Amino acid sequence: MTTRDGVKLSGTIIVLLIVGVLIFLGLRNREKPVPYEPPRPRTSVTERKVRTPRKPKVEIVQDAASTNAAAEETISMRQLRHERAVMFVPDGDPIPGFDTKGLVDDTLAAFRSNAPTEKKLELMNQIAVIGDKMVMPAVLAALDDKDDEIRTLAVEAMKAIDDPSVVEGVEKALKDPDPDLREEALECIATLTPEASLNDIIMQALNDPNEDVRENALDMLTMLVDDCMMPSLDYALKQGDADTQETSLTLLEQLHEEGSHNALQPIIEQGLLSQYNEVRQMALSILQEQTGQNLTTYEQWAKWYEENRK
């Protein structure tokens, strides 16, 4: 065998060895079992859509599906509330087919056990769209939480409830350190029927150190104006600044025109004795216009009222 033949044979052997190694490695990799990976759990609605408070309102869907379907859709907090309104679902009715009591129990358990904030947010995102007084125990528990977003969701939940059961929650929210939350909490009573129990809320808010809260309290008083709200009107006329006192006088004048027999007394007792000259002049003008009397002093009006009140 020549030297050339020996080199060719050696090269052939090397190539065959390389091919053999590659085939062996390929077979080994093909036979290697693939490790089992369990399927990933489906992301829940609240994990996909956790509402951030004070975001701009979403567009209202005019052709929303049934309430049952809406409860299962992946939509934001405000959108669901607006869709429920568009569908004319009566306020106070729990979502049909939804275990509201179970949700409330789970939420209370989460607060009692001091569950992670993410878990409590997930539950409160659901609580906030129920719109029924059944959720109030969970709302009251949430108002004690240290997380601002959780407490805000509690206020959002009360906004969806058109029932006097929110009064306790609003009173509690008005003690919150966040002035924005206190201001928003007042809106929970905007649609309630005026009743005496709301006076404590209005008077507490009228005495708030934050101007925006005080102004919103006056707005709520304007919406709730009624004979039963006389203590709040009297308080505003006595304790408020000039603008607040003038608004109170306007509301009292409105009540008198609607037939209230009690509206003139605070105008006389508070309005004519105000520390602000413009308020005193406004009170005198209202009294003269409403009664047709041309009296000018507090003493004259006080005597006239004693003689003529019914």
Task: Convert the pLDDT of each residue in 217-273 to its tens digit.
Answer: 999 999 999 999 999 999 999 999 999 999 999 999 999 999 998 999 999 999 999
Please give the pLDDT value at position 64: 36
CA distance 202 to 237: 13
pLDDT in tens, 55-78: 332 232 333 343 334 334 323 433
Please give the pLDDT value at position 261: 83
pLDDT above 90 covers a percentage of the chain that reads: 65
Range of the domain at 242: 229-310
Q: Quick one: 139 and 72 in the same domain?
A: yes
Ranges of the chain whose pLDDT falls below 70: 1-97, 310
Closest CA to 224 of 249, 246, 255: 255
The answer to whether position 156 is within a domain reads yes
Nearby residues of 269 by Cβ (< 8 Å), 6 or more positions away: 302
Q: What is the pTM of this model?
A: 0.68
Q: Quick one: 288 and 199 in the same domain?
A: no
Please give the pLDDT value at position 87: 37
Q: Quick one: 201 and 236 in the same domain?
A: no
Q: What is the mean pLDDT of the chain?
A: 79
Question: For residue 172, which amino acid is it?
Answer: K
Q: Quick one: 267 and 308 in the same domain?
A: yes
